[in-house]
C-alpha cells in the first residue's frame, strides 16, 4: 500500500509540475487566447468550429464540441461546433481510403472558408490529423493545433499552435489539453456574450 501511495503522489507531482510549467509559459498562454479569438471571430461571422483527434484526443475533441453545441457554464444559444467523429463515416472511409483520411474526408464535406479546425495530436505527427489540417488550409479553414511537441508537422500547418509538453507520456500532455479546452470554451462563451450585449445596447 505504501508503494502505491508513493506512486499516486509521484503522479500528482508530475502533473503539478506540468501545470506549473504551462502557467509560467507566457507564449503558450497568449496562444490560447489567440486560438479562442480565432474561433470567436469565426462564430460571429456565421462560421463553425470543428475538432478532431485520436483515442483520448478524439474524446477531448468530442467534449470540446458538445460543450459548445450543448452547454458549458451558461444558459445561452447553442454554438456551432462539431467533432469529426461519426463512427459510420470513419469506418467507411478507413475501409475505402485508409484510416489517415477519416478526418480530412469529413472536413472536405462540411468545412467552409472562415471555419476553424481544432486539431489535437499529442505527438504532432498523427497522419490523419495532419491530413485534416492540410485539407482545412486548402479550403480557407483556419487551424488551431493542440499538441505536445513543437517543430512538428501539425505546428507547421497551424495558424495557432498551442504546445503543452508535460512529461514523459502522452497522458500528462492530455491532462493539460483538457484544461486548455475548458478555458477556450470559457473564453468563447464570454466573447460571444459580449457581442450579444453590444448588439442589444445598439438596438435599445
Ramachandran angles phi, psi of 27, nearest 5°: -65, -45
Assess whether pLDDT exceeds 70 at residue 196: no
In CATH terms, the fold of domain 2-203 is Rossmann fold (3.40.50)
Q: Where are the domains of the chain?
A: 2-203
Reported as a pLDDT band with limits 50, 70 and 90, residue 169 is confident
Residue 98 cell numbers, joined: 485508409
Reported as a pLDDT band with limits 50, 70 and 90, residue 74 is confident
Q: Which of 19, 61, 32 is nearest to 161 (CA)?
A: 32
* pLDDT of 199: 60
Least confident of 3-12, 67-76, 194-203: 194-203
Assess whether pLDDT exceeds 70 at residue 201: no
Binding residues for substrate: 54-56, 67, 95-96, 121-123, 126, 174
Residue located via cell numbers 512538428? 152
Binding residues for Zn(2+): 63, 67, 174, 182
Assess whether pLDDT exceeds 80 at residue 43: yes
* pLDDT of 191: 96
Q: How far apart are CA 60 and CA 174, in angstroms?
A: 8
Q: Whole-model pTM above 0.95?
A: no
Q: How far apart are CA 113 and CA 141, in angstroms?
A: 5
Binding residues: 54-56, 63, 67, 95-96, 121-123, 126, 174, 182
182-187: long-range pairs with CB below 8 Å, 24+: 182/67, 182/72, 183/32, 183/36, 184/32, 184/35, 184/36, 184/39, 184/64, 185/64, 185/67, 185/68, 185/72, 186/72, 186/73, 187/32, 187/33, 187/36, 187/37, 187/40
Amino acid at each position: 500500500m505504501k508503494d502505491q501511495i508513493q506512486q499516486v503522489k509521484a503522479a500528482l507531482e508530475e502533473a503539478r509540475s506540468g501545470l506549473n510549467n504551462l502557467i509560467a509559459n507566457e507564449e503558450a498562454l497568449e496562444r490560447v487566447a489567440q486560438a479562442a479569438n480565432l474561433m470567436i471571430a469565426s462564430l460571429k461571422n456565421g462560421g463553425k468550429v470543428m475538432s478532431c483527434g485520436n483515442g483520448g484526443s478524439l474524446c477531448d475533441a468530442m467534449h470540446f464540441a458538445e460543450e459548445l453545441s450543448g452547454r458549458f457554464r451558461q444558459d445561452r444559444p447553442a454554438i456551432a461546433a462539431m467533432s469529426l467523429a461519426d463512427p459510420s463515416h470513419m469506418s467507411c472511409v478507413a475501409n475505402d481510403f485508409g484510416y489517415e483520411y477519416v478526418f480530412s474526408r469529413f472536413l472536405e464535406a462540411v468545412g467552409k472558408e472562415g471555419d476553424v479546425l481544432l486539431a489535437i495530436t499529442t505527438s504532432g505527427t498523427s497522419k490523419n490529423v495532419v491530413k485534416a489540417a492540410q485539407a482545412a488550409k486548402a479550403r480557407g479553414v483556419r487551424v488551431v493545433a493542440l499538441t505536445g511537441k513543437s517543430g512538428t508537422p501539425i505546428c507547421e500547418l497551424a495558424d495557432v499552435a498551442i504546445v503543452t509538453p508535460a512529461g514523459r507520456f502522452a497522458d500528462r500532455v492530455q491532462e493539460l489539453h483538457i484544461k486548455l479546452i475548458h478555458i477556450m470554451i470559457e473564453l468563447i462563451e464570454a466573447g460571444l456574450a459580449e457581442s450579444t450585449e453590444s448588439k442589444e445596447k445598439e438596438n435599445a
